[in-house]
Structure 1
Amino acid sequence: MNLRCIIVDDEPNAVNLLEVLIGQTTQWQLLGKCYNALEAIEFLKKHTVDFIFLDINMPHLTGMELAGLLPKETKIVFTTAYAEHAAESYAYQTIDYLLKPITLKRFVAATQKIEAAFNPPPAATTTSATTSPEPDYFFFKSGKTLRKILLADILYFESEKEYVRLATATEELLIYRRLKDIEEQLQTPFVRVHNSYIVNSRLLNKIQDNHIYIGTKQIPISEKFREGFMEVIRQRIF
């Protein structure tokens, strides 16, 4: 796919690495290399790009500050050594969040996401005859008891070895199931955020520094599940 991009990063070595990776693995046009946000602003006044590789910690203006000045349709791939900005980054049209040092394997995975963002698969068509409504409750077996729990009341599921802890605002149950098995039966707003956690995105209090706050619980967002989680959250960001 012939996409147009620029690199915005104040570290020459990081710029050179990205340039090499782009040349080795894609057919994209690298239109420019900017070493601070002010250079990027001037460049973008004269050139149209499809997306930007954008560092976060830069002089004059940070990458986040620059992202806030860009048109909403401008897509971004953040490149940074700091994981704590990941959740904040998805307030913009973020395709991916690459942590430095960027490896070839991780970059190739990013190229697939980038090209998919510009060539999304066709939407699946369904009919009312084949679409079944999402259940609003399940019966969960805890010990010798089957407990009926409304899905809307569940804050999160937490894996504990061979058990899963189900938490609501008023109670917790231990269920003899694997988290993966539970995940397969759930739909949005439930989303996997960590090897040990599935959360109800409708009941989140806040997202900060790569952590979710829900009820009285602080839950980490792992690199593996971050993008899928933020895709759900991005639909509700103003």
Structure 2
Amino acid sequence: MNLRCLIIDDEPNAVSLLEMLIVQTTQWQLLGKCYNALEAMDFLKKNTVDFLFLDINMPHLTGMELAALLPRETKIVFTTAYAEHAAESYTYQTIDYLLKPITLKRFVAATQKIEAAFAQLPVTAPIPSPTAAEPDAGHFFVKTGKTLRRVLLNDILYFEGEKEYVRLVTSAEELLVYRRLKDIESQLAHPFVRVHNSYIVNTQLLSKVQDNHIHTGSKQIPISEKFRDGFMAVINKRLF
């Protein structure tokens, strides 16, 4: 079976072993090797794979934390030296859980399981792309870990882009979302306005605009020259 896979592991020796096993025992396409979660997320933005070999114990962002940020349908084979994460791993679209060091016998058993999982996939209609949010939609859902959180638009102070993530901030909490800021912007309408490459603000919850900065909650946000005219056009509509 011709499947496309990606290895995500911070241990070069573990990556080399998996690569050798894939080449010697399967007809799969190994599309890439990533040595940390951020590198993997950037790769997955540009490439489509059928499943991941995902290490659990990685610095900065663990395999479990990365899995929680990926689309729910992403299929995963976890690889780790620790057995205690096995139960938690199956809260995701997990095909198998490989304990290191991975033996040839265990890998061959995993390949049979992986190919069986794809052979049994039902044919489904494509999922429609999200459309822009209606101005009065009132809420949307944010995936955090294993939970879908309902967030009221009126409660959001601002969105802050951080590379592959967006930080959603309300007066009560902060949520980290695995999306690009421009993708979230396409689903927002008034009163949300882009004011900087890294920020979208809720103009209804601003406390003041001063010295080319916006004050909302306890945050001071810069207004960039690129977005200043559009932002001030919204503000001037409410200027007495």
Query: Normalized against structure 2, the TM-score is what?
Result: 0.50
Tell me the residue number matched to 2:105.
105
* Alpha-carbon distance in 1 for matches of 2:117, 2:74: 12
Question: What amino acid does structure 1 have at the position aligned with 2:51?
Answer: F
* Alpha-carbon distance in 2 for matches of 1:121, 1:78: 20
Tell me the residue number matched to 2:36.
36
Tell me the residue number matched to 2:45.
45
Tell me the residue number matched to 1:10.
10
Query: Normalized against structure 1, the TM-score is what?
Result: 0.50
* Alpha-carbon distance in 2 for matches of 1:99, 1:121: 26
What do you get for the CA RMSD once the two structures are aligned?
Answer: 1.2
Tell me the residue number matched to 1:196.
none
In the TM superposition, 1:190-209 aligns within 5 A as: none
In the TM superposition, 1:173-184 aligns within 5 A as: none
Tell me the residue number matched to 1:66.
66
In the TM superposition, 1:79-228 aligns within 5 A as: 79-120=79-120
Question: What amino acid does structure 2 have at the position aligned with 1:116?
Answer: A
* Alpha-carbon distance in 1 for matches of 2:59, 2:103: 25
Give the total of aligned pairs: 122
Structure 2: gaps spanning 5 or more residues: 123-240
* Alpha-carbon distance in 2 for matches of 1:83, 1:40: 23
Identity of paired residues, percent? 88
Match of 1:2, SS? Answer: coil
Question: What amino acid does structure 2 have at the position aligned with 1:47?
Answer: N
Q: Deviations over 1:67-118 (max 9, x none)?
A: 0011111100000000000000000000000000000000000000000010
Q: Deviations over 1:102-137 (max 9, x none)?
A: 000000000000000100299xxxxxxxxxxxxxxx
* Alpha-carbon distance in 2 for matches of 1:69, 1:27: 29
Question: What amino acid does structure 1 have at the position aligned with 2:53?
Answer: F
* Alpha-carbon distance in 2 for matches of 1:65, 1:105: 29
Match of 1:86, SS? Answer: helix
* Alpha-carbon distance in 2 for matches of 1:28, 1:48: 14
Note the C-alpha offset of 1:39: 0.3
* Alpha-carbon distance in 2 for matches of 1:73, 1:25: 26
Q: Deviations over 1:151-202 (max 9, x none)?
A: xxxxxxxxxxxxxxxxxxxxxxxxxxxxxxxxxxxxxxxxxxxxxxxxxxxx
- Tell me which stretches of 4 or more aligned residues in structure 1 moved more than 2 Å: none
* Alpha-carbon distance in 2 for matches of 1:79, 1:30: 16
Match of 1:59, SS? Answer: coil
Tell me the residue number matched to 2:187.
none
Note the C-alpha offset of 1:65: 0.2
Tell me the residue number matched to 2:149.
none
